Amino acid sequence: MSSPKVAVRRRPKDRKEQILEAARTLIVERGYRNVSMAQIAEEVGITAGALYRHFSNKAVLLGAVIGSSFDDVTPAVVADESLADVVAESCTYIVGRRDVGALWWREARNLPEEMRDELRDRLRAINRRHADLIRCQRPDLEESSAEVLAWGVQSILASPGFHSSKLPLPEFAALLTQACLAVCAAEVSPPRPMPERRPSRLMPVSKREALLGHAVELFGENGYEATGLDEIGASAGVTGPNLYSYFESKADILQAAIERGTSALWLLLHSVLRENDDPRRALVALVGGYVRLTVDKTILTSLLLAEQASLTDVVRARQREYVAEWTALLRASRPRLDETSARILVHTALGLIHVMPRIEHLQANASFSVDLTAMATAVLLSD
């Protein structure tokens, strides 16, 4: 009698794609630093050793995940294809895969420098493609201005990853497409050199305030999880047990920084409402004020983008209340907008304001704040 045949378990042909999909889902849900290779392997149903045969380490896997998301939103080079067609195609994809923006803007700092530079080059190539299409539509536009508007488009494409408001996919895609095209039509100024500024050498006398100021900078540069309490103390000249007389933990510093930024935002809102009797003018003023606070780093927009997992339920509730104020002003300015569409447009404008200051070379232009205000206003108020 012949012995029974043993079934051979073969690897699925799409195993690599399964790994990328599982890694993408877990990293978006939990954050890169809170996900292990073992967890990703378990999600796929393979051993950790099998996973390492495909990706040598977690950073390489993250780079592949981000790179695959770039592939999906890169405009195809098609002869005679219009800006509107390319933008509509990208928006249709994005509303179905909202995590693309979150992956890059939240997690790229965890990549090795060489890999990060390579992906940044790809992002710039996407920008050039969008900029060329914008100039085809607006031939009198300077190349530098087209670049700024193209970054605006890419910021809008990232924005769905930073909120959870929903619409049916065709309506959502149409709304984002309209926002992108409104940004492409915005008037921006020719670039101007920044006036020379002497670096400030003054620090607050209060050690608590000095710690808070340095923490805001370090959280913005390195992220909350990657910043240690001792590192914050050393930068402010406060070490050892003295550090704990001001803040019990890093979480306490984060909470204080968020409360400071939240207070600034609400003070801005009350000032705008007090000084305006027309909702449209109030909304334009609110956008301008928010841009100034963001560019001056008064509010921790990097945390709003990258550290949602570190925020408390109370902080998230306050964020929703603040967005509701913008939404109410927008609906008063454009009464035909429904509540959900208005809220998504607000999140889209805020995403634009949060992302673009992180593109460092844009801030070398003295017109940057004015341009950013014009672009965010176009998102909100272009019918």
In this predicted model, which residue has the larger pLDDT, 120 or 199? 120
Give the side-chain half-sphere CA count within 13 A for 68: 15
Residue 80 confidence (pLDDT) above 90? no
10 Å CB burial of residue 378 (0-12, 13-18, 19+) is buried
Mean pLDDT confidence for 353-378 = 92
Q: Determine the pLDDT at residue 1.
A: 45
10 Å CB burial of residue 327 (0-12, 13-18, 19+) is buried
Arithmetic mean of pLDDT over the chain: 87
Mean pLDDT confidence for 149-156 = 96
Residue 349 confidence (pLDDT) above 90? yes
pLDDT digits (tens, 9 = 90+) for 268-322: 999 999 999 999 999 999 999 999 988 887 666 655 555 555 667 887 888 899 9
Q: Determine the pLDDT at residue 283.
A: 98
Q: Determine the pLDDT at residue 2.
A: 47
Residue 85 confidence (pLDDT) above 80? yes
Taking the C-alpha atoms of residue 98 and residue 117, their distance in angstroms, rounded to an integer, is 23
In this predicted model, which residue has the larger pLDDT, 223 or 334? 334
Mean pLDDT confidence for 172-198 = 90
Residue 73 confidence (pLDDT) above 80? no
* The CATH number of the domain covering residues in 12-56: 1.10.10.60
Q: Determine the pLDDT at residue 204.
A: 83
- In the numeric block, the tokens 């195993």 are attached to 15
Mean pLDDT confidence for 26-37 = 88
Q: Determine the pLDDT at residue 7.
A: 41
Which range has highest mean pLDDT (31-40, 108-117, 328-337)?
Answer: 328-337
Q: Determine the pLDDT at residue 199.
A: 67
Mean pLDDT confidence for 7-12 = 46
Mean pLDDT confidence for 153-178 = 94
Residue 3 confidence (pLDDT) above 80? no
Mean pLDDT confidence for 336-359 = 94
Taking the C-alpha atoms of residue 176 and residue 341, their distance in angstroms, rounded to an integer, is 10
Residue 8 confidence (pLDDT) above 50? no
Q: Determine the pLDDT at residue 74.
A: 67
**Three state DSSP letters for the chain:** CCCCCCCCCCCCCCHHHHHHHHHHHHHHHHCHHHCCHHHHHHHHCCCHHHHHHHCCCHHHHHHHHHHHHHHHHCCCCCCCCCHHHHHHHHHHHHHHCCHHHHHHHHHHHHCCHHHHHHHHHHHHHHHHHHHHHHHHHCCCCCHHHHHHHHHHHHHHHHHHHHCCCCCCHHHHHHHHHHHHHHHHCCCCCCCCECCCCCCCCCCCCCHHHHHHHHHHHHHHHHCCCCCCHHHHHHHHCCCHHHHHHCCCCHHHHHHHHHHHHHHHHHHHHHHHHHHCCCHHHHHHHHHHHHHHHHHCCCCCHHHHHHCHHHCCHHHHHHHHHHHHHHHHHHHHHCCCCCHHHHHHHHHHHHHHHHHHHHCHHHHHECCHHHHHHHHHHHHHHCC
pLDDT digits (tens, 9 = 90+) for 239-270: 878 888 888 888 888 888 888 888 889 999 99
The pair of structure tokens assigned to 371 is 């341009």
Residue 197 confidence (pLDDT) above 80? no
* The CATH number of the domain covering residues in 249-381: 1.10.357.10
Band the pLDDT of 374: cuts 50, 70, 90: very high
In this predicted model, which residue has the larger pLDDT, 169 or 242? 169
